[in-house]
Amino acid sequence: MDLATLKAEIKQLIVSELNLQGRDPESIGDDEQLFGGGLALDSLDALQLAIGIEERFAVRLPDGDDARPHFRSVSTLASFVAAARVA
């Protein structure tokens, strides 16, 4: 799966898993901050999103603070998933 397709799937997952009703997945910028700005997601959203990412893409995200860099944006999540699926 190419990176653009992966980013699109992650955006769709964000909208569906976090029930962001009325939000178009295509309106989420690839490099838009997911937490603290941008989408303004919180720690509960992070947990729910992590579970969704792990289930959908069959990868294991690191625990705690080690996961933070991967949740910066859709781009960082996509890069992590792509690398984890190759490994």
Fill in the amino acid letter for 10. Answer: I
**4: which 2 tokens?**
């653009």
Q: Is the pLDDT of residue 22 over 90?
A: no
Q: Is the pLDDT of residue 38 over 80?
A: no
Q: Is the pLDDT of residue 16 over 80?
A: yes
**CATH code of the domain made up of 3-86:** 1.10.1200.10
Residues 52-69: pLDDT tens digits? 999 999 999 998 889 999
Q: Where are the domains of the chain?
A: 3-86
State the chain's mean pLDDT as an integer: 92
Say what the pLDDT of residue 44 is: 92
Question: Which whole-number Å values give the CA distances from 35 to 2, 5, 58, 84, 85, in the listed order?
Answer: 25, 22, 23, 22, 24
Question: Which whole-number Å values give the CA distances from 85 to 20, 47, 60, 79, in the listed order?
Answer: 27, 20, 10, 10
